[in-house]
Structure 1
Amino acid sequence: MANSQKGGIDKSVKYDRQLRLWGDHGQAALELARVCLINATAIGTEILKNLILPGTGSYTIVDGHKVQGEDIGNNFFLTKDALGKSRAKVAAELLAELNEDVSGDFMEECPETLLQTNPSFFNTFTIVIATNMCERTLLQLASYLWEKGVPLLVCRSYGFIGYMRLVVGEHPVVESHPDSAHEDLRLDRPFTGLVELCDRINLDNMNKKEHSHIPWLIVLYKYIEEWKRTHNGEAPKNYREKNQLKDLIREGIRKTKEGVPEEEENFMEAIKSVNTALVPTQVPSTVRKLFEDEECLNLHQESKPFWILLKAVKMFVENEGQGLLPLRGTIPDMTADSKRYIELQQSYIEQAADDIAVVTEKLQDILQSIGRGCSISEQEIKTFCKNAGFLRLIRCRSLAEEFEPRTAKIQEIAAHIEDEEHSDVIFYILLRAVDRFYEEYNHYPGWYDDQVEADVPKLKTCMNKLLHDMGLPPTIKDDYVHEICRYGASEIHTVASYIGGAAAQEAIKIISGQFVPINNTFIYNAMKQTSITVEL
């Protein structure tokens, strides 16, 4: 993202916090994104609010409804002056005031009509977000988008229950940003540049200041090598041996004339780092699984860049990498003088660059073999190699697979229903039953205040039919059915706001290609303040 200005505001300042989170390239992807929101409900406008504020390129609201009284009561982006007006138009205009960098549009048309008359309209979007849609239309939309490869995020706010379902056939993640990860230091399998640098250093011949400012990584390397000389070339493996190595490093700390150990922070850092630095360097199982994926093994001209890059890395691992991924090329901060630290840092950078060069050569060979031009930039290759150990792939099931009894995950659902006191998956069944109720009676259970009690047995019948179709016993308590009828399909703004924030976060993950999105269903229970993510 360039430091462009609009209205006198520097974007690098305006979006400073999020730039730190997903970087220039993540922000650039966001600014190029086109988002389609179906239905400007309370949850829908909350989602858009959270996408507009960080600078999503453009949005289009598709909604054929007029503003009703209940809309004004739960939707902050609709006012009483909007009664009877187009909900899409009013919401789009008020949302546009949030960020002048974002362009908004609307269509006063029902999604059902668009699907019948102009389905290709939905092909033009980066992601489609559908809120509070009836099951029949949702399945039609999901089937069409699945075929076209357009991600769909289904969201719902129903009384005290929030629901979110991601529908995407294949979503690779290069920058997954793991919460915790071991540094890629290779002390168990040091590369040539690191060995040469460390071999030039003699800890015994240093003065006091030099000795206390050698980077702990070099200190640890030296003592590991000393250990190996008396242990048949083997590094410490178990808890006892690692503690013995720590004691060996402690003995190397300089002492005063009185025999008191000096305060050498670098040696203490080396001791603290023994356990993590000696974790064996290997290819993670998640990445090995990707190496064996059919998409990686059988490349073709239409293969996605992710799979082409992965194949190049796989070839590197099997050859020049000697079973290891390309070096990440970064080291942590540590107590050291600038000269030594920069030398150490440079050795890692140079080795990482050498590995990237080898991967690039293999990539060019692959592109040539599949008859494809060079469509992958140097920066993409560099980013891929740096994050090769954290690659992730999300493959969601389609809604059709989930809703079809023959392919539904009946056993998983049954297990959750049996533990209904602790599992919110029971509300998944109830929301499905609500949709069946709507199809049969053309209104949601409890929609009319004077029919709440009358709708309870009707909803229970719909629920039991659904359970029967899934081959499950009708074991859900009547209390849950009464509660759903009491909601009357109302949207509570606090629930809509919570799910709106979570959904916007998932949408940004899909748009930016960073962080790992859910797979595939998220259910929120505001009554208990609990949530669950399940693969259905």
Structure 2
Amino acid sequence: MASPSPKSPEQSEKNKQYDRQLRLWGDHGQSALESGHICLINATALGTEILKSIVLPGIGAITIVDDCTVSDEDIGSNFFLEMSSKGLNRGSEALRLVLELNPAVQGHAVQEPPDQILDENPDFFKSFSLVIATTISEKVTQSLSQHLWDINVPFILCQSVGFLGSFRIQIREHAVTETHPDNEQTDLRLDEPFMSLLEHLESIDIDALDLKDHGHIPWIIILYKAVQKWKINNNNKWPVTRNDKEDIKNIIRDFIRKDENGIPINEENFEEAIRAVNTALMPTFLPKNISKLMYNSAATNLTKDSSSFWIMCSALRAFVEAEGKGKLPVKGILPDMTASTEHYVKLQNIYKMQAANDAEIVYRKVRQIVTQLHCDSISEADVKLFCRHAHDLYLVKGSCVATELQLGNSVASYIATYLEEPDVMMVHYIMLRAAGMFRSEHCRAPGDWEPEGDIAKLKTCVNKLLGDISCSPFPKDDHIHEMCRYGGAEIHSVSAFLGGCVAHEAIKIITKQYKPVNNTFIYDGASTNTATFEF
């Protein structure tokens, strides 16, 4: 017999290089990552740490926008710069060294300030999957964030100052199909089995099985048989209460065969059935959050500009209202269990076939919508993936950074509410904002030249910010003293930690997998505390 053809060396090397991450987000996630193009504004220590953790997994391309030259301070805090880099363009030097981590990544450097690009070539930012900015002024942040919001390009604003770090994600709308929940619910449909499953479950008589088969039938079948026996004496209802489920467990124990001495035979599949009672007997229902998505105006009032997510939500609604009879498509995934290969594979194929049939119906509805709207087609693979994860869909509706910086009534009220609590992380948000105001007024970081002399100036910025949100001044100046002591310097360990966090969020956004942080993340390196806020 001829041996199978070997995989191409290039493909096998690629799989070997990206093996661990492929297990996290799959081939399609890796493909999305490799198609992504990220723009980084300012190759600071934080900026290069972000790029490091994006280049290593294989982002398609990066562009660094940076008009600064490398200084001694840069070399002291940035591991991606060398002594020979001093006096050269920071972005070009960082790009050269970062790209050594992964030759497959394309890189570009633009030696212009972002505000000049915004004025002269605003379309420049349209080509990016995501824009990340570090150490930019509040004025540039205002105009850049508003522009990116208008052209619907995701934006992450981040900073690292002393022991403090933060990032703010700005994204207008972000739909996640593969959320990868920690505790994914099984979808067994034992309460209302579909026809092929019902026929299979009814075809097996546990009492008639020989000893070998008795110990190798899947626990799903055991559980179904126990429930059917329990329903006979309970008005055909479904077991819901704790007492109901205890009764089911006792019935399963009665199913276990005994030896000639009356001692129960150790059958692991029956023990699995007992353990599964509390989780596997959840009634099949339509989750409220999924119902909200299906009946969202974006799904009920489609246009040719509607995203594929809303088109699939619309098709999903049509399926649920008709063929699904109020239920979502079958997932088609079975948990591992003790069973013979024959029993398990047969049961697995039943679920897989039903899932494929449901997905095919939804796909036909998607094609009908696409034809009516004359919009871009949606692949069958995307629809199958959508149906497989339809129970856990997630939508982020973000807000604009420019709006937050203006401190409107809702933002001010939100901040004031958190500041009522002592020793809260919101204090660090205020300090970072005040440091930004100081930099705008004095063209340098607080404490950069004279830490003691800048304390009063920074306190003025803090009090002004607190006054804008109708909050009392801080009772102590400890945080103000600390910020001035930092002198605007980056501590590499803080930037490295925060850079990894930002890179994780960037990958979530590009691959559209896992739930991203919604809005703002604050990190205090001194206490190692973190907090998230939604402005």
Within-5 A mapping of 1:377-416: 377-416=379-418
Partner-residue secondary structure (3-state), 2:132: strand
Mean CA deviation greater in 109-118 or 500-509: 109-118
Q: CA deviation at 1:5?
A: 5.4
Corresponding residue of 1:464: 463
Task: Say which of 57, 63, 69 aligns to 2:72.
Answer: 69
Distance 1:392 1:246 in 2: 35
Partner-residue secondary structure (3-state), 1:163: strand
Mean CA deviation greater in 253-262 or 133-142: 133-142
Task: Say which of 292, 308, 313 aligns to 2:311.
Answer: 308
Corresponding residue of 1:499: 498
Within-5 A mapping of 1:18-97: 18-97=21-100
Q: Kindly indicate whether the alpha-carbon contact (under 8 Å) linking 1:417 and 1:476 is maintained by their aligned counterparts in 2.
A: no
Within-5 A mapping of 1:186-197: 186-197=189-200
Q: CA deviation at 1:4?
A: 6.5
Mean CA deviation greater in 207-216 or 354-363: 354-363
Partner-residue secondary structure (3-state), 2:513: coil
Partner-residue secondary structure (3-state), 2:179: coil
Q: CA deviation at 1:153?
A: 0.8
Against the structure 1 CA distance between its residues 9 and 194, is the aligned structure 2 distance closer, same or farther, given a 3 Å change threshold? closer
Q: CA deviation at 1:110?
A: 1.1
Q: Number of aligned residue pairs: give it.
A: 529
Deviation sequence 1:172-216 (CA, Å, 0-9, x none): 000111111211111122111111001111111111111110100
Q: Which runs of 4+ in 1 moved over 4 A?
A: 3-6
Distance 1:372 1:153 in 2: 30
Partner-residue secondary structure (3-state), 2:157: strand
Q: CA deviation at 1:401?
A: 2.0
Corresponding residue of 2:516: 517
Deviation sequence 1:232-252 (CA, Å, 0-9, x none): 111211001110110011011
Q: CA deviation at 1:109?
A: 1.3
Within-5 A mapping of 1:139-150: 139-150=142-153
Deviation sequence 1:78-127 (CA, Å, 0-9, x none): 11111111101111111111111111110111112111111111111111
Q: Kindly indicate whether the alpha-carbon contact (under 8 Å) linking 1:420 and 1:426 is maintained by their aligned counterparts in 2.
A: no
Q: Kindly indicate whether the alpha-carbon contact (under 8 Å) linking 1:173 and 1:391 is maintained by their aligned counterparts in 2.
A: yes
Against the structure 1 CA distance between its residues 85 and 74, is the aligned structure 2 distance closer, same or farther, given a 3 Å change threshold? same
Distance 1:107 1:353 in 2: 48
Q: Kindly indicate whether the alpha-carbon contact (under 8 Å) linking 2:223 and 2:273 is maintained by their aligned counterparts in 1.
A: yes
Distance 1:408 1:445 in 2: 29
Q: CA deviation at 1:407?
A: 4.7
Q: Kindly indicate whether the alpha-carbon contact (under 8 Å) linking 1:223 and 1:248 is maintained by their aligned counterparts in 2.
A: yes
Q: CA deviation at 1:406?
A: 2.3
Q: CA deviation at 1:408?
A: 4.2
Distance 2:177 2:56 in 1: 25
| Residue 274 of structure 2 is aligned to residue 275 of structure 1 | no
Partner-residue secondary structure (3-state), 2:182: coil
Distance 2:488 2:143 in 1: 22
Corresponding residue of 1:479: 478
Distance 1:322 1:408 in 2: 42
Within-5 A mapping of 1:315-334: 315-334=318-337
> What letter matches 1:377 in structure 2?
S
| Residue 444 of structure 2 is aligned to residue 443 of structure 1 | yes
> What letter matches 2:315 in structure 1?
A
Corresponding residue of 1:213: 216
Deviation sequence 1:251-283 (CA, Å, 0-9, x none): 110000000000011111111101101112112
Against the structure 1 CA distance between its residues 168 and 476, is the aligned structure 2 distance closer, same or farther, given a 3 Å change threshold? farther
Partner-residue secondary structure (3-state), 1:61: strand
Distance 1:464 1:441 in 2: 17
Distance 1:509 1:325 in 2: 25
- Runs of at least 5 residues in structure 2 that lack an aligned partner in the other structure: 1-6
Give TM-score scaled by structure 1 length. Answer: 0.97
Q: Kindly indicate whether the alpha-carbon contact (under 8 Å) linking 2:41 and 2:132 is maintained by their aligned counterparts in 1.
A: yes
Q: Kindly indicate whether the alpha-carbon contact (under 8 Å) linking 1:401 and 1:408 is maintained by their aligned counterparts in 2.
A: no
Q: CA deviation at 1:410?
A: 2.2
Distance 2:144 2:279 in 1: 49
Partner-residue secondary structure (3-state), 1:100: coil
Against the structure 1 CA distance between its residues 486 and 507, is the aligned structure 2 distance closer, same or farther, given a 3 Å change threshold? same
Partner-residue secondary structure (3-state), 2:256: coil
Against the structure 1 CA distance between its residues 4 and 530, is the aligned structure 2 distance closer, same or farther, given a 3 Å change threshold? farther
Q: Kindly indicate whether the alpha-carbon contact (under 8 Å) linking 2:197 and 2:351 is maintained by their aligned counterparts in 1.
A: yes
> What letter matches 2:248 in structure 1?
L
Distance 2:363 2:72 in 1: 60
Distance 2:475 2:269 in 1: 61
Deviation sequence 1:428-474 (CA, Å, 0-9, x none): 111111111112111111011xx211111111111111111222222
Distance 1:328 1:466 in 2: 51
Partner-residue secondary structure (3-state), 1:56: coil
Distance 1:135 1:9 in 2: 47
Distance 1:29 1:368 in 2: 26
Q: Kindly indicate whether the alpha-carbon contact (under 8 Å) linking 1:4 and 1:11 is maintained by their aligned counterparts in 2.
A: no
Distance 2:8 2:464 in 1: 58
Against the structure 1 CA distance between its residues 523 and 5, is the aligned structure 2 distance closer, same or farther, given a 3 Å change threshold? farther
Q: CA deviation at 1:17?
A: 0.6
Q: Kindly indicate whether the alpha-carbon contact (under 8 Å) linking 2:192 and 2:284 is maintained by their aligned counterparts in 1.
A: yes
> What letter matches 1:75 in structure 2?
N
Against the structure 1 CA distance between its residues 505 and 261, is the aligned structure 2 distance closer, same or farther, given a 3 Å change threshold? same
Deviation sequence 1:274-332 (CA, Å, 0-9, x none): 11011121122221221232211211111000000011111111121111100000111
Distance 2:13 2:475 in 1: 56
> What letter matches 2:480 in structure 1?
V
> What letter matches 1:300 in structure 2?
T
CA root-mean-square deviation: 1.3
